[in-house]
Each structure stands twice: as C-alpha cells, then as structure tokens.
Amino acid sequence: MMLPEIEKLLILQDRDRKLRTLRLEYKNAPLERQAFAEKQSGAQKQLDAVKLKAKEFEVERKKLETEAQAHRERIAKYQVQKFQTRKNDEFSALNHEISRAEQDIRGIEDRELDLMDAAEKQKAVIAEAEKTYTTTKAQFERQATDIDSKIKTVG
C-alpha cells in the first residue's frame, strides 16, 4: 500500500511530464508547420515545372509547324518559278531546291512527331505530379489543423 503523499507526488510527476511534453509540442509546432508547408511548396514547384515542360513542348511544336509551313510556301514559289523558266539549269536548280525543302519538311515532321510523343508522355508525368501535390496538400491541411488544435489546447 502506497502512502497518500507518495501517490500525490506520482500524480504531480505525471502531470509535470505531460506539461513538459505539451510545452515542447507547442514550441515545435511552428517548425512542424513550416516543414509541412515546405513539402507542399516543393510538390507545387514540381507540378509547375512539369506543366512548364509540357508548354515548352507545345511551343516548340508550333515553331516547327511554322517552319514547315514556310518550307511549303517556298516550294509553291519554286513550282511557279519552275514553269516560268525556259532554262534547263534554272529548272534543275529549282527542282533541287524543291527536293531539299521537301527533305527539310520530312525532318521537321519527324521532330514534330517526337515532340508529340514526348508531350503525350508528359501528360502522365503531370498526372503523377498533380496526384502528389493533391496528397501533399491534403496532408499539410490535416497536419496544420492538428497543430492549430494543439496550440489552442496548450496556449
């Protein structure tokens, strides 16, 4: 059997231990909140980066499209000039220019296909980054709510 004084001291010791734990949680709460906020910010930056990469693919593809169109217009101009010339060497030179422009167009279209493939793959990367961001944001919001309630309880 325990003496009442010892029992009271043990209760007091337990309460003191709980109070120290609460004070430590209260002190660490802002750091904990900041760590979760940084994790969310990192996920947001990653999402922004992969979306930017997708936009870069699209900008590059449109640039290639414009470049290919310029070659097609040049071919059309050469076709008109070809039928206006009477000299064989000019006719041959224009045919050569047309062939070269057509070859350039094929190269451009190949690069466009590569970009379209990369853009398609980037959609999966974006979806994964969005999922990570959404999960991280939800975790941050839950943790922030928990931290706020701890602070209110202790404060």
pLDDT tens digits, one per residue of 52-96: 999 999 999 999 999 999 999 999 999 999 989 889 999 999 999
Band (1; pLDDT cuts 50, 70, 90): low
* Residue 18 maps to a domain: no
* Residue 1 maps to a domain: no
Q: Specify the CATH number for the domain of residue 132.
A: 1.10.287.1490
* Residue 140 maps to a domain: yes
* Residue 89 maps to a domain: yes
Q: How far is CA 27 from CA 19, 22, 34, 48, 77, in A?
A: 12, 9, 13, 33, 76
High-pLDDT (> 90) share of the chain, %: 63
* Residue 145 maps to a domain: yes
- Helix then strand count (H, E) for the chain reads 2, 0
Q: Residue 90: what pLDDT?
A: 93
Number of CB atoms found within 10 A of residue 43's CB: 21
The alpha carbon of 77 is separated from its chain's Cα centroid by a whole number of angstroms, namely 43
pTM (two decimals): 0.69
* Residue 7 maps to a domain: no
* Residue 78 maps to a domain: yes
Task: Give the residue-averaged pLDDT of 27-41.
Answer: 85
Q: Residue 130: what pLDDT?
A: 96
* Residue 22 maps to a domain: no
Cα torsion 41, 47, 52, 55 to 10°: value is -150
Q: Which domain holds residue 57?
A: 34-154
The count of domains in the chain is: 1
